[in-house]
């Protein structure tokens, strides 16, 4: 944030880093983690819970958006920022900070196996209609996920030098995603305060509270569910602003919701770490 305001970093630099993360480092991290993952038990159940969280969130967001008289691109942007949490760019490093390496693995399960399939189907459909599915299938992290699942099922492994290279490249994802978050935060005066407040209340409070109620009633406890709850309370995903720009929705609403939500998340996470 400081470098951006000093004029040392420009939007072109942010675009370069975003392309590196989405097209290279995140796919590398996906291959490393998912190819070695035990795809059974709690891991699969966490993914199913994530699907339920996204689908119920989208339904609630649509109903609230219509009650607020939203329509067109503004309604679509509202649904996107309310439904999809920042489970990767912010969720990975915060899960790692809170729960260590095991927490990062669980965060990747929630993101890659849970959030990704819904984002690449429902998310792209909300943003651009059924014509957008072709773009979703070419999304590099999704291609990497399919490849990682293939390696996992077949038991194929890479030589050690290649594994080391993939790990080094993949681990650059965490610091760079935090850096990108800082570049996206804005402090401009907004006319969308009412909509942003509603979206963040749903995204970071009401939807996670409903998720907590469900897993409590079902008696689910342990690290996978702790990480899933943390991930479900993340602010809006950065990729929602990318979709809003790509499909000419209300990009301003998306960026402002991401900025405000990220700042709230950082403050609340400090207290979370302090008192846990």
Q: Which residue has the tokens 């967001």?
A: 61
All residues at 6 or more sequence positions from 216 whose CB lies less than 8 Å from its CB, including other chains: none
Per-residue pLDDT at 96: 92
**Helix/strand/coil for 207:** helix
Percent of the chain with pLDDT over 90: 36
Domain layout of the chain by residue ranges: 2-275
Query: How much is the average pLDDT of 218-243?
Result: 90
Q: Which residue has the higher pLDDT, 251 or 197?
A: 197
pLDDT of 203 higher than 70: yes
Two structure tokens written together for 215: 């897993």
Per-residue pLDDT at 41: 62
Could you report the per-residue pLDDT of 37-84, keeping only the tens digit for each? 776 666 778 888 999 999 999 999 999 999 999 999 999 999 999 999
CA–CA gap between residue 158 and residue 30 (Å, rounded): 14
> CA angle 127-244-90, nearest 5°?
105
CATH 1.10.287, domain 2-275, yes or no: no
Average pLDDT, the chain: 87
What band does 26 get if pLDDT is binned at 50, 70 and 90? confident
């Amino acid at each position: 944030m400081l470098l951006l305001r000093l004029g040392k970093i420009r939007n072109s630099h942010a675009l370069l880093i975003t392309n590196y993360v989405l097209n290279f480092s995140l796919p590398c991290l996906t291959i490393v983690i998912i190819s070695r993952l035990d795809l059974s038990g709690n891991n699969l159940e966490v993914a199913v819970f994530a699907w339920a969280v996204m689908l119920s969130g989208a339904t609630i967001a649509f109903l609230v958006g219509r009650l607020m008289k939203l329509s067109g691109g503004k309604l679509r942007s509202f649904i996107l920022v309310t439904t999809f949490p920042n489970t990767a760019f912010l969720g990975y490093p915060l899960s790692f900070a809170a729960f260590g390496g095991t927490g990062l693995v669980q965060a990747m399960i929630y993101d890659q196996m849970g959030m990704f399939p819904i984002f690449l189907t429902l998310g792209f459909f909300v943003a651009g209609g059924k014509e957008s599915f072709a773009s979703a299938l070419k999304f590099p992290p999704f291609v990497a996920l399919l490849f990682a699942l293939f390696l996992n099922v077949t038991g194929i492994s890479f030589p050690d030098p290649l594994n080391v290279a993939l790990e080094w490249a993949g681990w650059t994802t965490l610091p760079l995603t935090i850096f990108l978050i800082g570049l996206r935060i804005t402090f401009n005066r907004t006319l969308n305060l009412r909509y942003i407040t509603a979206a963040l209340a749903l995204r970071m409070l009401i939807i996670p509270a409903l998720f907590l109620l469900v897993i409590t009633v079902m008696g689910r406890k342990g690290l996978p569910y702790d990480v899933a709850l943390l991930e479900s309370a993340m602010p809006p995903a950065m990729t929602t602003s990318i979709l809003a720009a790509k499909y000419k929705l209300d990009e301003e609403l998306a960026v402002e919701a991401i900025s405000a939500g990220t700042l709230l998340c950082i403050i609340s996470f400090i207290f979370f770490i302090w008192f846990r």
